[in-house]
Amino acid sequence: MKTNNCQIHYFDSLRDKFLAALYSENEPAFDQSFLTLKKALTTNQTLAENSLKSLYQINTLAKKFKKQKLYKYLNKFLKKFTRAEIKNPCIIDYDTWKTNLGIDDKTLKILFSTTINFQLSTGCSNYCRRCNEWALPGIRKHFSFDAIIKISQNLAKQNNKEYALYSASDPLDWKEKNKNIIHLINTLSEKNLIPSYGMLTKVPKGKESIFKKLIEQKTDISASITSCNRDRIKKIENLLSIKIDKQHDTDDLLIPAGRDEDFCTIKSSITDSYGTEITPDGAFIVAPTFTSSLNPTGQKRIPINKDTEFFIEKMPGTKGLKFNYFDKLKVINKNNKKYSLCFLLDSQIENILLDNGDYDLTQPGMISLKEYFETFKPKAVKIRKNMLPAIKKRLAEQYSPKEYTKQLKSHEYACDQNHVNKIKQQSLKSFLVAIKNYLKKNNSKRLIILYLRQKEINKSKNNDFKFNTIAKIKQTLQNPESDTFQLFTQLIFMLLKNPDNSIVKTLLN
């Protein structure tokens, strides 16, 4: 564990081992994980932000599952470690950040072109109960003023202004010596480096005057409201005789997460954006996931380093919502070449395994797996057929004759039931092969997913219609009106119990 990247994977993996041991009631495995944790915390003098998040998650699950020995040990460690870090916040300059990242200038340009989050500080003075980002309590690190300006200039050089100046932190917490966020915003504004996304703040205690000044300067900023800061914001509104732009104006901010995470349910993602995140610790490729004990922050962070082979093509906001999370991702390699991956990322396979068809699980505008399989049914094929004349007209207006023929052929295939049935079977096979390979190499995660979907598995046992023979599965696949999602779900359950399930194996062969 010499680098932050190795360390992050290590503590993520350790969290998963604790969860798997708890879910499967394997006391020896739990005790072994506890011993491993103690050894790791003895040998690691410094801990990365995401490593600490994993430790707070382990601490929270220990409390939820009444593992008092682990909870007391880790709680004592985290309090001591936090006090030491808050006492001496670290300032990260540009050269240190770049050196630690370890990538060349060519790769760095791609990083800047795909950035969606620019996190100015590590830690947060608010430490909200329901923080989806599991922000660390207290401020630990800041980018230096010069580093922020230089990174902002590099982002601008890549024509990137679609990013946020916060993530797992509050922008009003940033400071360096006598400078605060006001000095930073004014300098960025003078240099035409202000991002197109506004800032979101909880207005930490003691920062009311800073927020008031930003409002008076007409800075693009809004307040995230909870019961803790509503009165504070109201006082500022009365003082300035204006209405402040508010978000999340509810006592229950977003979904139960952070210290309110129950480690038992699957919830929607907190984000819809794909891209890159810059933090004082380095940089990460970010992809949305469902929020669960498998991915407690509702997104997957993949550390960027010299071995990074590709970056996910940036898809902020509505662009991310339009992307089917189970489709092959568009990426950019180190030579700035764009292409589509020929495989699914682990985070995408995890989403497939957790997608139970609940419409509340996917955000408005984002298609679920259940809805995807509905597009193969005769009713959907008929609707596409009826729309073909309008599609031809639109394609003729948009494309050259050569590209028009190519696009039209694709739409005509989607109007042919026989062709659609073949695509459905190909999709099923592709998903099942990816799932089987994933489960065989990730046993802890398999046990976690098995636990999260156990109620549905038990319910499926009582169903009258079971896909328990190859003949019945083939019959279902050949019937265009059949419930493919129900079939797929049961095949997933078979693989969760045994990744080498004979029925699935025979089906794939």
| Averaged pLDDT for residues 120-131 | 91
Does residue 460 form part of some domain? Answer: yes
Are 60 and 103 within one domain?
no
Q: How far is CA 142 from the centre of its chain?
A: 23
Residue 486 φ then ψ, to 5°: -65, -45
Q: Which two tokens stand for residue 272?
A: 């819809």
- pLDDT tens-digit map of 58-105: 999 999 999 999 999 999 999 999 999 999 999 999 999 999 999 999
Q: How confident is the model at residue 254 (pLDDT cuts 50, 70, 90)?
A: low
Does residue 364 form part of some domain? Answer: no
Are 332 and 429 within one domain?
no
Does residue 350 form part of some domain? Answer: no
Does residue 361 form part of some domain? Answer: no
SS3 at position 126: coil
Distances (CA, A) of 480 to 196, 380, 420, 421, 494: 47, 11, 9, 7, 23
| Averaged pLDDT for residues 312-320 | 92
Among 31, 60, 88, identify where a domain stops.
88
Are 127 and 76 within one domain?
no
Q: Which two tokens stand for residue 172?
A: 């009003």
Does residue 353 form part of some domain? Answer: no
Q: How confident is the model at residue 247 (pLDDT cuts 50, 70, 90)?
A: confident
Model pTM score:
0.93
Q: How confident is the model at residue 373 (pLDDT cuts 50, 70, 90)?
A: very high
Expressed as residue numbers, the domain containing 329 is 89-343
Are 83 and 96 within one domain?
no
Report the domain count for the chain. Answer: 3
Helical axes 417-441 vs 470-478, angle rounded to 10°: 140
Predicted local distance difference test score (pLDDT) of residue 197: 92
Q: Is the pLDDT of residue 364 over 70?
A: yes
Are 161 and 296 within one domain?
yes
Among 30, 63, 88, identify where a domain stops.
88
- pLDDT tens-digit map of 162-188: 999 989 999 999 999 999 999 999 999
Are 302 and 186 within one domain?
yes
Does residue 365 form part of some domain? Answer: no
Are 204 and 330 within one domain?
yes
Predicted local distance difference test score (pLDDT) of residue 127: 84
* Position with higher pLDDT, 365 vs 170: 170
Does residue 81 form part of some domain? Answer: yes
Q: How confident is the model at residue 1 (pLDDT cuts 50, 70, 90)?
A: very low
What percentage of the chain carries pLDDT values higher than 70? 97
Q: How confident is the model at residue 114 (pLDDT cuts 50, 70, 90)?
A: very high
| Averaged pLDDT for residues 149-161 | 97
Predicted local distance difference test score (pLDDT) of residue 7: 76
Q: Is the pLDDT of residue 252 over 70?
A: no
Q: Is the pLDDT of residue 463 over 80?
A: no
Predicted local distance difference test score (pLDDT) of residue 249: 64
Does residue 362 form part of some domain? Answer: no
Are 472 and 323 within one domain?
no
* Position with higher pLDDT, 138 vs 254: 138
What's the mean per-residue pLDDT of the chain?
92
